[in-house]
Chain A
Amino acid sequence: MGSRQAARAACRIALLAAPFTAIAIFATAASVNAADLTPHEKTLAAAAKKEGAVTIINPIFSDRTAQRMAAAFVKRYDLGPDFKFNNLRKGTGATVAQVRQEIKAGKFTVDVHLVSAPGFFAAASEHGAFMKLDSDYWKDSEELAKQASQYFNYPYVVVPLAYTFQPVWNTSCDGMKDFGATSYSDVLKPALKGKTIVSDITKSFTYTNTVISLKKNDAVDVDEMWKKIKATDPIVEFRTEPKMQMVISCQRPLDMWNLAGRVYQNVVKKPDLAKILKIGYYKEGQVMLGNQAAVLKGAPHPNAGQLLLEFLLSKEGTDIFVEGEAVYSFRKGYKPPEAAKPYLLDLSEHKLLGMKDWVAAQGEFKEVRGKWQAMFQ
């Protein structure tokens, strides 16, 4: 076939295809919902509407995020104005304590549990505590979650999001104007005496897992790190928001482990803070802390629970929590919303740390926490 013939053939195909392409584009634009929803979502949505409510327990979603998520969830699945979206926000441990208690008692008020607690999810899975999922969207996240060495146990446990602890400081406080942090050595300097916060790892899975990951990856000499931070006379605190308040008020202008999302949320409340609050990173490696999610077997709204998990794994749901909390998604090729971009690391430019066996790491909690306690308590 000559080149002229090939061009003609291509033209013919294009002409023939044009009407079908136009119809396809029109159909997509005319009914976004119908095109977006998978058959499984449609089935779940119909059942969820009958259930009338969903309750998620988690330590992450702020009121603002939850309100936006509720509106988008109800709209996407056409659940109606009477549908109740309950966001129960508690500490990581509190969520685990409540859910574990409900599992042991066989009495449930919660549908979906979302928290970074691989050991708990593994143990609960073994006890048959979670529903078997049939997700259409998990495949979009599975590969990156695996690459990032995150714990999941599909079809029972998925990992929709992750966060990482970063150094955060306030440049308006005394002695912090020219401060910068790109390494652990920057946040452990003796000159920072009286300016630091140390995170209470005994009360948090995620801090403890960060320490273990740093150790296992030989990123930092943790014992030496504790000695140096101790020398700066730090305040011991564990929740990220109270720590952020200490940074904002200059009570303690530097927190070596906080969340970019907390900075973002405070800037939303008071835009001037964007000029003085800075976020750094650690060249030794950023420990990515995946947040697992599952639907409880025996949940009062099992279909709504499964539907919510699908929503969290979808692009639309991901946009909402990434924009609201400045956390990371494992969705392949995902581009975060513009508003959250300044607060998120470009993961391709940073050394990311995970763990081969998050569940086994829980066996090391006692020793790691014991050493920390000997130093700070």
Chain B
Amino acid sequence: MSTLSLPRTSSWTPWSNRLRNMLTQESIATIIVSVIVAAAVLLPLFALVVSSFQVMDASGFSTTWGFENYTALFNDRVIHKAFINTLLISSGSTILATFLGVSLAWINARTNCPWRDRLEPYNLIPFFLSPFVGAIAWHNLASPRIGLLNSWARDYLGVPGYLINVDNIYGVIWVTGIFFTPLVYLFVVGSLRRMDPSLEDSARTTGAGLLRTTMTVTLPLVAPAILSGAIIVFVTSAGEFGVPFKLGAPYGWQTLTTQIFSKAVGDDANYYLGSAMSMSLGIITAFFIWVQQRYIAPRSFTTVTGKGFRPNVIELGRWKWFAFGYNISFIVFAVVLPILSLIIVSLHPVWQGRIIPSAMSLNNYVKTLFFWRPDSIQAATNGIYNSFILAFLGATIAMILSLVVSHMIHRTKGFGARVLDFLCVVPIGFPGIVLAMGVLVTYIKTPIYATLWIILLGYITRFFPYGQRNISSVMLAISEELDQSSRMAGASWFTTLRRITIPLLKPGIFAGWVLLFIIFLRELSISIILYTSGTETLSVGVYYLSNYENEALTAALSMTQTVILLVCILIFRRVAGREALTA
């Protein structure tokens, strides 16, 4: 009997060993996460690609296969103009946001600018406001006739006509640029703080001045972070809907997103044509992903080593006051004035373009906050509640995914890692509104349709790459040797992840979580497609009030959103420390 059983055991043992070797903690996590990411990203995109080749008939109920949607892109003059406007707005916003973001990060991280620690949270506030809210605020500030700044310029300075006008493409660039500045700032400031000072010291000791050291050593070292931030800003600007919807489209500056919006949910709703339009945006995105992969990924500079250090603080002399003034100016234009305009407008029953102290009250806040009152607006009160649930759950799930995915991308470095890296960036380039349509079509027949879960899925699919990029930018700056040492010392993959990688990445994880929490609290374009009665979000509430109520109520809910975000950021700064926001 024993002689019969031996061969079986001997043939089974190597196979089981092989299986055991294959089924490691790392491989299981890799497989699970890969399947989730692939399904989450590819299914809606597949639905989009397929849809783009379906041509809708006049009734809207039947389709045929064909290329007519793509030929329409070339034949439609409005789409042409929208395409060009999108490129102009994205380029302009990226240049503005990168310039402001890098300069502010440098001032705060590396100079002796007075009160720089206190200024930092204020630099990030524009990002907490939704760009759509920013556009509403700036419209109330700098619209030619009703803008407060223009009104004051006329009344107190005697300026004829108007001083500034944001109701055009420049206004779209301005608002998008300043509201996305913190994205670049967040990417860059962490790298600047973690930079090995010996690299700059070497340059300074060889006679290089401040400017030369900054240009030839500092900036090249943080180039991956700058480029990552710039790429994110570019593709996010291209996919931004709220700002051009408010400041561009009514004044003849259509963008691809405003056009896609009108195709997705407009009266001539043609999702199939919208899908083809989104594919054209995808080409732009793919190009920038290629740039990122080609130029940034290979330059994975190690700016953090196992050595302990503290980065140099550059003495600016009397220029420190210029730096302070520069930073304060940014805060005034990007934070103080928009919030001021929201407060003023929100206190009026109906905004008539001028301050009427006798008419001011808190009634708009009562309607948008006091859910138990009969005159409360449900879209607003539901929105606040739902957004908190979505933001908390979404950010948590997305960061768990991001952590594992980042580890796989930057520590395994195989073909699969490159594919995964690509998959993680792809959703960023697709306008939320279009990806939401993909999610809708994919999941409409499932039980998650018309629930918060489908919105959550849309959020995670669209935005978890932000968290992943955030972790990656820190991971790129951490030497792989630390991980390798742990593994060589006998620690398992999970133990290494838990005891070495996660502690080192903690600032990045917190930053990513906060980033996503904020994004989800102010997200509009996915929610607007996927919401239904009872699943409204905060931004849907703002959009609803803007479209169906008035500027004053809109401003009240916008202020509520702003205050909620400011409180959140204060709490997280206290809990997680300064680094949580500036990894």
Contacts from A to B (Cβ < 8 Å): 55, 62-64, 67, 86-94, 96-98, 100-107, 109, 117, 119-120, 123-124, 126-127, 202-205, 208, 235-237, 239, 241-242, 244-245, 248-251, 266, 269-270, 273, 362-363, 365, 369, 373-374, 376-377
Contacts and interface: CB of A to CB of B under 8 A. Distances in A.
A97 B550 contact: no
A244 B352 CA distance: 11
B60 interface: yes
Cβ-closest 5 pairs across A and B: A93-B267, A123-B59, A249-B353, A97-B269, A86-B533
Given A236-B252, A249-B146, A270-B349, A203 B61 contact: no
Contacts of A104: 61
B81 interface: yes
A248 B350 CA distance: 8
Interface in B59-107: 59-61, 77-78, 81
B315 interface: no
Given A86-B533, A91-B265, A93-B269, A362 B353 contact: no
B547 A124 contact: no
Given A202-B262, A250-B145, A241 B375 contact: no
A100 B60 contact: yes
B268 A365 contact: yes
A202 B534 CA distance: 30
A270 B350 contact: yes
B55 to A, nearest CB: 14
B262 A251 contact: no
Highest count of chain B CB atoms <10 Å: which of A98, A203, A237, A250: A203
Interface string B340-383: 00000000011111000001000000000000001101110000
Interface of B: 58-61, 77-78, 81, 143, 145-146, 249-252, 254, 262, 264-269, 271, 349-353, 359, 374-375, 377-379, 440-441, 444-445, 449-450, 532-534, 544, 546-551
Contacts of B532: 88, 98, 109
Given A236-B249, A245-B551, A123 B61 contact: yes
Contacts of A244: 550
Contacts of B265: 90-91, 93-94, 97
A373 B250 contact: no
A377 B445 contact: no
Contacts of B549: 62, 241
A106 B445 contact: yes
Contact of B352 (A239, A248, A369): A248
Contacts of B269: 93-94, 96-97, 100
20 contacts: A91-B267, A92-B267, A94-B265, A98-B532, A103-B61, A105-B449, A107-B444, A123-B59, A126-B59, A203-B262, A203-B267, A205-B267, A242-B547, A245-B351, A249-B351, A250-B353, A266-B350, A369-B268, A373-B77, A377-B254
Nearest to B451: A109
Contact of A242 (B78, B254, B378, B546): B546
Contacts of A101: 440-441, 444
Nearest to A108: B450
A109 B546 contact: no
Contacts of B267: 91-93, 96, 117, 202-205, 208
Given A107-B445, A203-B266, A236-B251, A241 B350 contact: no
Nearest to A276: B352
Contacts of A377: 77-78, 81, 252, 254
B472 to A, nearest CB: 36
A239 B547 contact: yes
Given A249-B353, A250-B352, A376-B252, 19 more contacts: A67-B374, A88-B532, A89-B379, A90-B265, A91-B547, A93-B266, A101-B444, A109-B450, A120-B60, A127-B59, A202-B266, A203-B267, A204-B267, A236-B252, A244-B550, A249-B551, A250-B146, A266-B350, A377-B78
Contacts of A270: 349-350, 359
Contacts of B78: 373, 377
Contact of A245 (B251, B349, B449, B550): B550
Highest count of chain A CB atoms <10 Å: which of B81, B264, B350: B350
Highest count of chain B CB atoms <10 Å: which of A67, A86, A251: A251
A155 B551 CA distance: 41
A237 B550 CA distance: 15
B352 A123 contact: no
A237 B250 CA distance: 5
A365 B267 CA distance: 11
A120 B379 CA distance: 27
Contact of B60 (A102, A123, A203, A273): A123
B550 A89 contact: no
A126 B374 CA distance: 41
Contacts of A102: 444
Contacts of B77: 373-374, 377
A62 B548 contact: yes
A100 B440 CA distance: 13
B444 A105 contact: yes
Nearest to A241: B548
Contacts of A64: 375
Contact of B353 (A87, A239, A251): A251
A249 B58 contact: no
Nearest to A57: B533
Contacts of B533: 55, 86-88, 109
Contacts of B546: 242
Nearest to B544: A89
Nearest to A85: B533
B540 to A, nearest CB: 10
Contacts of A373: 77-78
A151 to B, nearest CB: 15
Highest count of chain A CB atoms <10 Å: which of B77, B377, B533, B534: B533
A90 B59 CA distance: 21
Contacts of A204: 267
Contacts of A107: 444-445, 449
Nearest to A266: B350
A117 B550 CA distance: 26
A100 B441 CA distance: 12
B548 A97 contact: no
B529 to A, nearest CB: 9
Contacts of B375: 63-64, 67
Contacts of A124: 61
A215 B353 CA distance: 37
Contacts of B445: 105-107
B157 to A, nearest CB: 19
Contacts of B351: 245, 248-249
Contacts of B81: 377
A362 B78 CA distance: 21
A237 B262 CA distance: 12
A96 B56 CA distance: 15
Contacts of A251: 143, 145-146, 353
B385 to A, nearest CB: 16
Contacts of B262: 93, 202-203
Contacts of B352: 248-250
B550 A241 contact: yes
Contacts of A202: 262, 266-268
B151 to A, nearest CB: 11
A93 B266 CA distance: 4
B453 to A, nearest CB: 14
Nearest to B262: A203
A339 B544 CA distance: 26
B264 to A, nearest CB: 7
Nearest to B450: A109
A67 B377 CA distance: 10
A97 B264 contact: yes
B361 to A, nearest CB: 11
A208 B267 CA distance: 10
Given A67-B374, A236-B252, A241-B548, A269 B268 contact: no
A203 B551 CA distance: 22
